[in-house]
Amino acid sequence: MSSKIDFIKPPSIHNETLLSLYKSMLKPRLIEEKMLILLRQGKISKWFSGIGQEAISVGITAALEKEEYILPMHRNLGVFTTREIPLYKLFSQWQGKMNGFTKGRDRSFHFGTQAYNIIGMISHLGPQLGVADGIALANLLKKNNKVCAVFSGDGATSEGDFHEALNVAAVWSLPVLFCIENNGYGLSTPSLEQFKCVHIADKGIGYGMESHIIDGNNILEVYTKVSEFAESVRKNSRPILLEFKTFRMRGHEEASGTKYVPQADLDFWAAKDPVENYQEFLKNEGILSDEFEVSLKKEIVHEINEHLQIAFDEEKITPNLETELNDVYQNYVPDKILPSIEKKKIRFVDAVSEGLEQSMIKHPDLVVMGQDVAEYGGVFKITDGFVAKFGKERVRNTPICESAIVSAAYGLSVNGIKSVVEMQFADFASSGFNPIVNLLAKSYYRWQQKADVVIRMPCGADIGAGPFHSQTNEAWFTKTPGLKVVYPAFPQDAKGLLIAAINDPNPVLFFEHKALYRSVYQDVSENYFTTEIGKAALLKEGKQLTIISYGAAIHWVLDVLEKNKNICADVIDLRSLQPLDVETIYRSVKKTGKAIIVQEDSLFSGISSDISALINENCFEHLDAPVKRVASLETPIPFDKNLENQYLGKNRLEKMLLNLIDY
């Protein structure tokens, strides 16, 4: 590769545009030089330098329309400045001030802003590509002929999320530009140790995807080619993989340094500096004068210093406990839609399906995604017949790529569309765990972006499905602030809570026990109604003790009480695990003086452990016995029926219940 940059001035580009591109590259360069000084002075905590890569950020952003979404990474300051975000807001963000975008809760470029159609990244890098899929899918559904562009580095192309996102985009013909900045290193690991192919663009072949290589240091090539591709994609929706050849002139972040980089490489790429080379080109063409260059630099430096002073003068954040706690979820006061008197006796599975179907009617843009959910109707037939009623655009079969689909659901929410994702089995959520706990859960707290997503979780044992299809893994998610976790035990609740979950703008994990699907019947209201999330149900009342449970385990409890009619107990069906109705629990325990918590999950670190602790901390003076827990064995879930029966806690429930009464 030559160290010379061949600038070719397209006839259609006016001199004003050429100068604008120069100014747009110069601005982030001068800001970075100032930030490096502030870093040494301890006035910012960390910096990821994009020096040498400005042409990519600026060229792509200039090529897109302002209302089209861009999803940048660490080294894309030029995206933010080209979108003309006020500098003081950026400086406040980097100093952890309130005028930033995250209220001091995150740093550097870990933020987004709907005002400028920029969606920031998380440190896991790869999920950003799946988010772009969701944004692009929303554009496709809206038929607005918009494209979105998402950035990634060469290192992140080794992540599974990269492959999942490209596969989904290709299968669905999504209007997205995957912009890969190949700067030669993932931190200190060179590209030749990351992948075997010669060019990242070659990876597009495996997905049947158009791909191109672009000189990432040539602003004119970046701008003209991306403009061309973007216009083409607006007219003919499809993904395109773009590899931008460039180099990172400084460390991964400043503390890393560049000692691992051969000096010859640094010298070669220094000669290809995108700003200096373009500046020389403009002067040779008679477009840029020395006087204009000097005045432009003075103007930008003055702006930087003026806005820095605004950020420096801003007071440090004073912690407010109420504000922090209230920003974990988006504030939401649901409309109470009462159930009708008209009812019909249906199964649990039918109630879930009916709640989802009525929600699809209520929300005309609601999208359902999951493996085999379209013509096949899902493995449990929840969505059977949905394609005929709502079409394949809204009822979407997905490839087997849970992470990309959860990320895409988040992208749909960013672009204003609700979605329901069906995990084929709750166990498989482990493959989508990262975007659930790091994108969905943290989004509103980080930068006030709602994650309007429901993830349906068919779960539970007692059906002989073995270790990988039988877990009830709610405790994975009740630990994560920002997620709501709902777990109904009866058809009426399943329908009302699912509708409520879909209406809620916050992310909801909706657990559906598979053993209840076709074994539990109930008279269910026929209308579209809601059941309040966060409110437990008192199924029975008594004075001897309080029994707290949820899901299939509630039916264990009711079976034992049917057998032992002399037991007089309060029976609380939690229905919602996060938020948890502690008031109902405390009120009952203070009345009865004894409590036992029953869960299907294994004992250690389950939800029963926290409920037990809460009771001990808040009701200790009222207790007449230790709080007891009933759960399943500390083993994976076995397949053989006799082994599974031994595993499940329901076989130990009656004895423990009677012992507690006699305590």
Whether the bond between 579 and the residue before it is cis, its omega within 30 degrees of 0, is yes
CA distance 452 to 507: 6
Q: Residue 604: exposed, middle, or buried by beta-carbon count in 10 A (0-12, 13-18, 19+)?
A: exposed
440 closest CA partner among 481, 488, 473, 498: 481
Bridge partner list, 369? 396, 421
* Six-digit token string for 22: 């120069």
* Six-digit token string for 326: 């209230």
Q: Would you call 487 helix, strand, or coil by DSSP?
A: coil
CA distance 230 to 210: 13
Whether the bond between 458 and the residue before it is cis, its omega within 30 degrees of 0, is no
CB 532 within 8 A of CB 506: no
The helix (H) or strand (E) run that includes residue 588 is: helix 582-592
CA distance 190 to 261: 9
The helix (H) or strand (E) run that includes residue 243 is: strand 240-245
CA distance 451 to 322: 22
CA distance 141 to 31: 39
Residue type, 23: K
Bridge partner list, 181? 153, 244
- Torsion, Cα 399 70 122 441, to 10 degrees, reads -70
CA distance 480 to 249: 38
CA distance 194 to 159: 10
Label the pairing between strands 484-486 and 508-513: parallel
Active-site residue identified among 74, 110, 307, 469: 469
CA distance 505 to 527: 22
Catalytic-residue membership of 363: no
Eight-class DSSP state of 628: E
CA distance 102 to 94: 10
CA distance 359 to 389: 13
Bridge partner list, 245? 182, 215
Bridge partner list, 442? none
Within its chain, how far is the Cα of 481 from the centroid?
13
| Edge-to-edge strands, sheet with 210-215 | 70-71, 148-153, 176-182, 240-245, 210-215
Helices (H), 314-401: 321-326, 348-362, 386-390
CA distance 406 to 127: 9
Give catalytic residues, as residue numbers. Answer: 469
